Structures are given as C-alpha cells and as structure tokens.
Structure 1
Amino acid sequence: MYLVIEEPHCPWCKSESVVEIDMKSSQRTTVDGHLRRWNAAPKLLRCQNCGLWIKHPRPTAAELQEYYSNVDFSKWENPGLYPNERKLLSILQKLPKDSEILDIGCSTGRLLSRLTNSFECFGVEPNALSATTASANGISIVSQEDLTAPEFHERFAAVLLIDVFEHLLDPRSVIESAISCLRQDGLLAICTGDTGTQKFRQEKARFWYVVNEEHVIFFNRQFANHIATEFPLTISEWSNISHYDSNSISRSLLMYKRWLYRTLQHKSTFLRLAASLFPGARKARRWAHCPPNNLSADHVISVFRKQAQSR
C-alpha cells in the first residue's frame, strides 16, 4: 500500500502550492524488489514556496522502516570511497583534532572509520547489521531520538547527511535535529542528487535517481537557499560531483548502451533491424530498463556553516 495524498503538499514547508513538473513518469521499481510496485506511476512535483522536488505518491513510513531494517546494505558498499565521500573527507580533515562528528545514516561507517584516529565519531543507523559493523569500526552509535537529549545540544563540529536526504519522508525533523546538535561555526554537510544539474532536468521523473522507489524528495540550490534563510546558516560550499567514478571510456560505453537499448525499442522496423546488428544487441534485448544515466555530475556537496544567533 502506498501513501496517496488527495491534495499533495510539501513535506518541508507544508505548502499546498505544488506543481507537476513532468507528465511522463517512470514505472520502474527498485532492482531488489523489497518495496512493492507502484499502484500507479508517481508524479514529480515542485514546491513553489521552497523549491523542494517531491515524488507523489510515496511509500508509507512503515514501509520504508521495514525496508531499511531488512535491506542488504552491502549492495551500496564500496571497498573505497565514492567521489562525493572523498571530497567530503578532505573537508572534514581540516577540522581541529579531536572534534566530534555525527553522521546521520552512517551505514557501516565506511567514511567515518577513516577519521576515528583523529576525531570522535558518532553515527545514526536504522539497520541493525550495519550499525553493528559501524560500531566495530569505532563509531559510537546513537538513535535519532537520542539527539534530542541535552548532552547533544550544540555538540558537534560537523553533522553529515550523505545520500540520506532523498530518503526522508519528514525532512524538517531530521534537519532541525541536525542543526540543534551542531555547535556554532559547525558544518552541516548534505550530499545528495541536485535537480539543478543538466541530466536531472532533462530526464526529470525518468532520471535514474528518481526511479529508485526509496528516493522520495530531491534537493536543489533554491531549497538550500530557503534553509539558509530559515535557520542561522550560510552556504560555504556548493560543489557538483558525480556519485560514481568514471572515465571517458566508461562514459562512452554507457552512452552506447543507452543508444542501443532505445534504438532496439524504436517504432521504426528499419532502425530496430539495423541496431540488432550491433555488438551487444542480443543482451540489450533482455534488459528490462534502459541503463541508468548515472555517470554525470548530478550530485552536490552542500556545506552549511552555523552562525551565532543574535541575542
């Protein structure tokens, strides 16, 4: 069952001034199939007040909780670091020694485990197996509810949300909690997809980042500016970057695969026959979906600095 809101509203500012930005929605589901299929293809909406992009309808909170509690997180693991993580690591290493860092959605602690010799590292992680691994990697695991305790108020030099924002059904509660835990002059780093990038705007609801069912909201500069005006924050860094490593060969191969898949589906019999003669055509016919266009600089590292509030 999916959450169907008769009158869609923005999950951040609660505005009902939302407009549909793409009429051609995708019906793809997640590869592992842990979440049920859409009853109807979701729409992609934009809040005219704050700029947030929203998927509608969305999975319920109960469905997402069950999914994250049981999903095999190893499919997202990487023996090294992703490009956005490497960039963020270089920023964090400039913090004073023994600073305290909180990673909300830390998974197995892949990033923070590289910092435990110099910093005190904390993490929030809903998946029990991943949390156990993170703890073994030197991360102190706390719950989202723990962050409301007085001991965590304005405590951390940096709070991270890496590939987490797009999963949030209630982004305000998480962001407010993160800002509350952040000390003055501390850094809030949000790494996620950026709807302002070229490929995102071209493909919209068909974009690879949107068709993942567990992704429900989408970030951009207008929304970041909205946050910075609502809270005592300034944007100190905005860097677009690819989520995955690539080179000219891998990008060219991806372009070829996408062209081959689309041409084999073309309404022209001549083009379909011609494409069938190209290398890989037999395999491409068996693909359920077009290969995702996921090697462009479609992500952003957005770093906010918390300002001292005037008394």
Structure 2
Amino acid sequence: MSGTEYHLKACLRCGFEFKDPPIDEQLLMKCYAQSSFDHWQDQPDPLVRQFDRFARLIESATKSRRILDVGCFNGALLDYLGPEWNRYGIEPSIAAAEIARQRGINVLSPSLESLDKNTEPFDVIMAIDVLEHIVEPVSFFQLIQKHLKENGIFLVSTGNAHAFSWKMQESLYYYTRIPEHVSFYSKAAFDQITCQMGWKCAAYQFIPHKRLPTSRRIKDTIKNTVYTLGCKCRGLGISPLNRKLRSGRGPTYFSAKDHLIYVFQQAG
C-alpha cells in the first residue's frame, strides 16, 4: 500500500466522508486477523475508555440482555458489562478472539458478513470504533438490521467529521490519516441513515476518544493549534517545513471532543 494516493470525498447532503479509492477490504481483514491481542491494551482502563458511558446508554434504552459487540477485540467492554448479560462478539483478530473467549464471551465469527443468518436476533448490538473501518457502510447497516430484534438498539461510537478540531485540519487531521480508517460520519450522516433504515435516534453524545486529564488536554490543544497555524501559514514560507507539515498528519488529539456516540433503535 506504500505510495498509494487517496482522496477524501464527501456527500454534500449529509457530510459523510470517505477515502477514494477504498482500501482493499480483504487486505484489511488479513491485517486484522494477524493483529496482537493487546494492540489496544489487554486491560484498558474502563474510565479512560468510557465504558461507563456505553453501559449507561444501554441500560437506559433497554432491559433486555442479549448483546452482540461487533469488533469486540479481546472482550474488555463486554467483560465490564458483567455476566448478567448474554454476551456475544464478532472479532477478526485470532489472538484477541481467544482472550475474549477466556473472558466468557461467545465469539461467533470473524466478521458480520460471515455470521450465521439463522442466529437468533439481538436486543443490543454495539460497534465501538468500528464504523470508520467499514468500506461498504450500506451493506453493513443492512446486516445489522437483520440481526437486531424489534425495538432493539444499535449503539455506535466513531469519529465525528463535523467536530471543530477536525474541521480546522480537514484532510490532515490525524484520524483521517490512519490507513485503515476509510469512512467518516457526523450526526447529520447518522440522522440520514436513521431515516433510510426506518429507525429512530434514541440518544447521541459528543465525546473525546478518551477521558484524559486537563494537563493532557492543554498539551494537545497547544500542539494542534501550532500545527494548524503552521499549515495555514504554509510553513512560515519555509518550503521544506511546509512539505513536512503537509506530507504527514496532525498530532494525535485523543482529548478533543471529536467522537460521536449514536444510538439507533429498530422499529417495533
């Protein structure tokens, strides 16, 4: 994939953004299958990763207990929810899926596409930090609908392409420069999906990717402000600096409120 050029395109109606040409989905799945079980931490801090937010939203939307986590990785979030849930997962990483099983998670398949169509529908489906990896969103949402019970909820968390920090840097924003990130959403895009699928919006929240201390938020803000100004000023007229700024990506900005939780609800 080295040297491949991509362009960021957007739907003028809803603001959904995507990379063109898309990355080969089979290549992505091979990479995910080989990823380490602790690539995103074996024991993530549930407070930093905001597991409590997801749990509260789920509990407020339904009392039913059959849940599927699409991209469950090593099962840390499902483990946090507790054994009172009937917990199922989908995970392409072979090593991570094995850790999830050791935590009591029933990992059903490596992908939503390969999930048995006769599987009993779920009361809750989650996709946390997954949608940005999906090359064909329409097919993905249609599959979710088939596996969701009447009045069931689909909770997602992904980057918000309409966030202020994102708009400041546009295609240079760190989130868009991660190679496997191919699709980018906003509340307007999710509202459009809600309408098309015949669902309703049960809740939404704008959040940072992680809960981080004030000192980290200040540091991130300074770094990204300097980077943005440097890009806007074309590297202060210094050609090598301008090229370096624009050939890379913005500093990681995990403390920015640049993510969106959205809860879809299936019609009854």
TM-score (norm 2): 0.84
2:22 maps to 1:58: yes
Q: 1:247 aligns with which of 209, 213, 216?
A: 213
CA RMSD of aligned residues (A): 2.6
- Structure 1 CA distance for aligned equivalents of residues 87 and 140 of structure 2: 19
2:34 maps to 1:70: yes
- Structure 1 CA distance for aligned equivalents of residues 250 and 114 of structure 2: 43
CA spacing shift, 1:177–1:248, aligned 2, 3 Å: same
2:264 maps to 1:297: no
Contact 1:162–1:190 (Cα < 8 Å) also in 2: yes
Amino acid at match of 2:266: K
SS state of the match for residue 301, structure 1?
strand
- Structure 1 CA distance for aligned equivalents of residues 24 and 13 of structure 2: 24
- Structure 2 CA distance for aligned equivalents of residues 204 and 243 of structure 1: 18
Contact 2:113–2:143 (Cα < 8 Å) also in 1: no
Contact 1:116–1:139 (Cα < 8 Å) also in 2: no
1:49 CA displacement? 4.9
Name stretches of at least 5 consecutive residues in structure 1 with no aligned partner. 1-35, 273-287
1:200 CA displacement? 1.4
Counterpart of 1:115 in structure 2 is 81
Contact 2:173–2:249 (Cα < 8 Å) also in 1: no
1:249 CA displacement? 1.1
Contact 1:116–1:138 (Cα < 8 Å) also in 2: no
- Structure 1 CA distance for aligned equivalents of residues 226 and 162 of structure 2: 27
1:51 CA displacement? 3.5
Counterpart of 2:97 in structure 1 is 131
SS state of the match for residue 44, structure 1?
strand
Amino acid at match of 2:201: I
Cα displacement string for residues 236-291 of structure 1 (whole angstroms, at most 9, x for unaligned residues):
1110000012222112222344466777x94478xx9xxxxxxxxxxxxxxx7652
- Structure 2 CA distance for aligned equivalents of residues 290 and 146 of structure 1: 36
- Structure 2 CA distance for aligned equivalents of residues 254 and 229 of structure 1: 36
Q: 1:96 aligns with which of 63, 66, 70?
A: 63
SS state of the match for residue 76, structure 1?
coil
Say which one has the larger Rg. Answer: 1
1:166 CA displacement? 0.3
Amino acid at match of 2:17: W
CA spacing shift, 1:115–1:254, aligned 2, 3 Å: closer
Name stretches of at least 5 consecutive residues in structure 2 with no aligned partner. 242-247
Counterpart of 1:151 in structure 2 is 119
Amino acid at match of 1:203: Q
Amino acid at match of 1:176: Q
SS state of the match for residue 151, structure 1?
coil
2:163 maps to 1:197: yes
Amino acid at match of 2:19: K
Cα displacement string for residues 23-64 of structure 1 (whole angstroms, at most 9, x for unaligned residues):
xxxxxxxxxxxxx32422x22111235532111223212221
Contact 1:244–1:295 (Cα < 8 Å) also in 2: yes
SS state of the match for residue 200, structure 1?
helix
- Structure 1 CA distance for aligned equivalents of residues 116 and 14 of structure 2: 26
Counterpart of 1:39 in structure 2 is 4
CA spacing shift, 1:259–1:300, aligned 2, 3 Å: closer
SS state of the match for residue 96, structure 2?
helix
Contact 1:84–1:191 (Cα < 8 Å) also in 2: no
Q: How many residue pairs end up in the alignment?
A: 253
1:87 CA displacement? 0.7
* Percent pairwise identity: 24
1:118 CA displacement? 1.0
Cα displacement string for residues 123-165 of structure 1 (whole angstroms, at most 9, x for unaligned residues):
000111111111111111112245442232xx21110010000
Contact 1:112–1:121 (Cα < 8 Å) also in 2: yes
